[in-house]
Amino acid sequence: MNYTLHQLMIFLKITETSSITKAAEELHLTQPAVSIQLRNLQDQFEIPLTEVVGRKLIVTDFGWEIAAAAEKIIEEVQGINYKTAAFKGLMSGKLKISVVSTGKYVMPYFLSGFLKQHPEVDLKLDVTNKAKVLESLSTNEVDFALVSKMPETINVEGIELMPNQLCLVGNKDFELSKKLYDEGVFEEITLIYREEGSGTRLYMERYLNEKKVSVRKKIVLTSNEAVKQAVLAGMGCSIMPLIGIKNELKAGSLKIIPVKDLPIETQWNLIYLKGRKFSPVGKLYLDYLEQHKDELIRENFS
């Protein structure tokens, strides 16, 4: 067997993306280069690693076994690199964080300075919906999770980062005929929802239920960015986190619709499993947040 670490890394990315094209994009390689490395790896096994069904790449059962072994090999190699860096006096290791989709507008500002201070630290940042974030936290796949609602079914601790405000938002053509609307406005507009499992949707539905509002028409979209683009296009209005639309508000392409008992006030929390024993990198990051959190909020979100 003469397979290389490079081939194993490429194959692992192919299994993660189920696509040679996507693997090439994420690895910043050409598609032919990825295909060649996959073929060179396959040539060393008599059993197929992948199959093409229709136009879809399928990883075989044997392929998944090889991928699991490759992941362990790569982790061991990374461990050697971390030990080497530590011996030279550099803090190194991997920091794994899962973030709800709206949190992508928040989390980078609390990471940038830390990563500049510790360039040997590797970051894995997964952006997904609330349900998947909590799943990855509960199964110990990540060190931290960023959420705007504390989970009720998982025993966690955390750090409060900053407030999160949810307002009703329309595009530039929405005519503000009142200084303050009551909840009846929701019966006059098309309301755009996030998908099931979204924290923003949970807060929106809770507000509407408390107000006993009957929504006339609704649209469901699967990301905060999709909701924002739909509102910009005039497809309807939505209750959205201000943090994700600050540029559009400044430019005047979106506007806040003032409604009684809005905005909804929530809190961004960086959480972790209670009693978790952190790696040196995880502990160092917690210390960094405690020291710099207020300064970072003033600089980036005031």
Amino acid letter, residue 220:
V
My answer on whether 169 and 244 are in the same domain is: yes
My answer on whether 125 and 274 are in the same domain is: yes
CATH number at residue 194: 3.40.190.10
Residue found by looking up tokens 């040539």 in the block: 43
Alpha-carbon gap, residue 239 to 204, rounded angstroms: 7
Of the three residues 86, 101, 126, the one that is the final residue of a domain is 86
Q: CA-CA-CA-CA torsion for 144, 148, 154, 155, nearest 10 degrees? A: 70
> Whole-model pTM above 0.75?
no
**How many domains is the chain built from?**
3
My answer on whether 207 and 74 are in the same domain is: no
pLDDT tens by residue, the chain, 302 residues = 688 989 999 999 999 888 999 899 888 899 999 999 999 999 999 999 999 888 889 999 999 999 999 988 887 877 776 666 555 554 557 889 999 888 888 999 999 999 998 888 889 999 888 888 999 899 888 999 999 888 888 899 999 999 889 999 999 999 988 899 988 898 889 999 988 878 888 889 999 999 888 887 889 998 888 999 999 999 999 999 988 898 899 999 999 999 999 999 989 999 999 988 887 888 889 989 999 999 999 888 87
Of the three residues 52, 86, 120, the one that is the final residue of a domain is 86
My answer on whether 108 and 68 are in the same domain is: no
Neighbours of 245 (CB within 10 A): 24
My answer on whether 26 and 117 are in the same domain is: no
Cα–Cα nearest to 266, from 100, 138, 132: 100
**Beta carbons within 8 Å of 14's beta carbon, 6+ residues apart:** 20, 23, 34, 38, 50, 57, 59
My answer on whether 239 and 262 are in the same domain is: yes
My answer on whether 205 and 75 are in the same domain is: no
Residue 68's domain spans which residues? 5-86
My answer on whether 9 and 143 are in the same domain is: no
My answer on whether 232 and 172 are in the same domain is: yes
My answer on whether 219 and 239 are in the same domain is: yes
CATH number at residue 25: 1.10.10.10
Of the three residues 63, 86, 109, the one that is the final residue of a domain is 86
Neighbours of 301 (CB within 10 A): 15
**pLDDT tens readout for residues 145-202:** 999 888 888 899 999 999 889 999 999 999 988 899 988 898 889 999 988 878 888 8
Contact between 180 and 259 (Cβ < 8 Å) = yes
My answer on whether 23 and 142 are in the same domain is: no
SS3 sequence of the chain: CCCCHHHHHHHHHHHHHCCHHHHHHHHCCCHHHHHHHHHHHHCCCCCCCEEEECCEEEECHHHHHHHHHHHHHHHHHHHHHHHHHHHCCCCCEEEEEEEEHHHHHCHHHHCHHHHHHCCCEEEEEEEECHHHHHHHHHCCCCCEEEECCCCCCCCEEEEEEEEEEEEEEEECCCCCCCCCECHHHHHCCEEEEECCCCHHHHHHHHHHHHCCCCCCEEEEECCHHHHHHHHHCCCCEEEEEHHHCHHHHHHCCEEECCECCCCEEEEEEEEEECCCCCCHHHHHHHHHHHHHHHHHHHHHHC
My answer on whether 134 and 12 are in the same domain is: no
